[in-house]
Structure 1
Amino acid sequence: MQKHLVIIGTVWPEPNSTAAGSRMLQLITLFQKQNFKITFLCSASKTDFSFDLEKLNIVTDSIELNSESFNNQIALLQPDVVLYDRFMTEEQYGWRVKEVCPNALTIIDTEDLHFLRKAREIAFKQNRELVFEDYISDVFKRELASIYRCDLSLIISEHEMKLLTQTFKVDATLLHYLPFLVDVINTNHPNFSERAHFVSIGNFLHEPNWQTVLQLKKLWKSIKKELPEAELHIYGAYATEKVFQLHNEKEGFLVKGRANSVGEVFSYARVLLAPIPFGAGLKGKLLESMQFGLPNVTSTIGAESMQFENLWNGFITDDEKDFVAKAIELYSDENLWNEFQQNGYAILENKFKTNLFQNEFSNKIDYLLNNLKEHRQQNFLGQVFQHQSLQSTKFMSKWIELKNKN
Structure 2
Amino acid sequence: MNQVQKLLIIGFVWPEPNSSAAGGRMLQLISLFKAQGFSITFASPAQDSDFMVDLQEYNVEKKAIELNNSSFDIFIKDFDPNVVLFDRFMMEEQFGWRVAENCPDALRLLDTEDLHCLRLARQKAFKENRFFKTTDLFIEEVSKREIASILRCDLSLMISEFEMELLESVFKIDTSLLHYLPFLLEPIDVAEIDQLPTFEERTDFVFIGNFLHEPNWNAVQYLKETIWPLIKKRLPEAILNVYGAYPSQKVLQLHNKKEGFFIMGRANDAQAIVQEARVVLAPLRFGAGIKGKLLEAMQCGTPSVTTSIGSESMHGDLLWNGFITDDIVDFADRAVQLHQDKTLWLKAQQDGIEIINQRYSKGLFESDFRTKMEFLRSNLQQHRWNNFMGAMLQHHTLRSTKYMSRWIEEKNK
Match of 1:145 in 2: 148
For the pair 1:77 / 2:85, whether they are aligned, the reply is no
| Residue correspondence of structure 1 range 7-406 to structure 2 within 5 A | 7-136=9-138, 137-185=140-188, 186-187=192-193, 188-218=195-225, 219-388=227-396, 392-405=400-413
Q: Counterparts of 2:260 and 2:46 in 1: how far apart (Å)?
A: 38
Q: Counterparts of 1:366 and 1:133 in 2: how far apart (Å)?
A: 36
Once the two structures are superposed, residues 132-152 of structure 1 have per-residue CA deviations (whole angstroms, 9 ceiling, x without a partner) of 331111100100100010000
Q: Counterparts of 1:387 and 1:45 in 2: how far apart (Å)?
A: 31
- SS in structure 1 opposite 2:200? helix
Once the two structures are superposed, residues 212-269 of structure 1 have per-residue CA deviations (whole angstroms, 9 ceiling, x without a partner) of 1011002111101111111000000000100000000000000000011011101110
User: Relative to structure 1, is the Cα distance of residues 194 and 76 closer, same or farther in structure 2, using a 3 angstrom cutoff?
Assistant: same
User: Relative to structure 1, is the Cα distance of residues 5 and 240 closer, same or farther in structure 2, using a 3 angstrom cutoff?
Assistant: same
Please say which of residues 68-77 and 384-393 is displaced more in the overlay.
Answer: 384-393
Is the Cα–Cα contact under 8 Å of residues 385 and 391 in structure 1 kept in the other structure? no
Q: Counterparts of 1:309 and 1:253 in 2: how far apart (Å)?
A: 34
Report the residue type matching 2:304 in the other structure: N
User: Relative to structure 1, is the Cα distance of residues 221 and 391 closer, same or farther in structure 2, using a 3 angstrom cutoff?
Assistant: farther
Is the Cα–Cα contact under 8 Å of residues 134 and 170 in structure 2 kept in the other structure? no
State the 1:272 CA deviation. Answer: 0.3
Q: Counterparts of 2:318 and 2:111 in 1: how far apart (Å)?
A: 27
Q: Counterparts of 1:248 and 1:383 in 2: how far apart (Å)?
A: 56
Listed as ranges, the gaps of 5+ residues in structure 1 are none
Q: Counterparts of 1:176 and 1:395 in 2: how far apart (Å)?
A: 32
Identity of aligned residues (%): 56
- SS in structure 1 opposite 2:163? helix
Q: Counterparts of 1:355 and 1:26 in 2: how far apart (Å)?
A: 12
Please say which of residues 303-312 and 357-366 is displaced more in the overlay.
Answer: 303-312
Q: Counterparts of 2:103 and 2:147 in 1: how far apart (Å)?
A: 22
State the 1:396 CA deviation. Answer: 2.4
Q: Counterparts of 2:399 and 2:53 in 1: how far apart (Å)?
A: 34
Once the two structures are superposed, residues 58-107 of structure 1 have per-residue CA deviations (whole angstroms, 9 ceiling, x without a partner) of 11110011100000000110000000000000000000111100110000
State the 1:26 CA deviation. Answer: 0.4
- SS in structure 1 opposite 2:339? helix
Calculate the TM-score normalised by the size of structure 2.
0.96
State the 1:370 CA deviation. Answer: 1.0
State the 1:388 CA deviation. Answer: 2.6
State the 1:131 CA deviation. Answer: 2.0
Aligned length: 405
- SS in structure 2 opposite 1:193? coil
Once the two structures are superposed, residues 154-211 of structure 1 have per-residue CA deviations (whole angstroms, 9 ceiling, x without a partner) of 0110100110112221100000000011124232311111100100010011000000
Q: Counterparts of 2:314 and 2:399 in 1: how far apart (Å)?
A: 37
Calculate the TM-score normalised by the size of structure 1.
0.98
State the 1:307 CA deviation. Answer: 1.2
State the 1:389 CA deviation. Answer: 6.2
Report the residue type matching 1:62 in the other structure: A
- SS in structure 1 opposite 2:8? strand
Listed as ranges, the gaps of 5+ residues in structure 2 are none
User: Relative to structure 1, is the Cα distance of residues 176 and 78 closer, same or farther in structure 2, using a 3 angstrom cutoff?
Assistant: same
Q: Counterparts of 1:132 and 1:8 in 2: how far apart (Å)?
A: 30
Q: Counterparts of 2:31 and 2:101 in 1: how far apart (Å)?
A: 29
Report the residue type matching 1:200 in the other structure: F
Q: Counterparts of 1:235 and 1:259 in 2: how far apart (Å)?
A: 6
User: Relative to structure 1, is the Cα distance of residues 97 and 390 closer, same or farther in structure 2, using a 3 angstrom cutoff?
Assistant: closer
Report the residue type matching 2:82 in the other structure: D
How well do the aligned residues superpose, as a CA RMSD in angstroms?
1.0
- SS in structure 2 opposite 1:192? coil
Report the residue type matching 1:174 in the other structure: L
Is the Cα–Cα contact under 8 Å of residues 122 and 134 in structure 1 kept in the other structure? no
Q: Counterparts of 1:51 and 1:241 in 2: how far apart (Å)?
A: 26
State the 1:390 CA deviation. Answer: 7.6
State the 1:310 CA deviation. Answer: 3.7
For the pair 1:2 / 2:4, whether they are aligned, the reply is yes
State the 1:391 CA deviation. Answer: 5.2
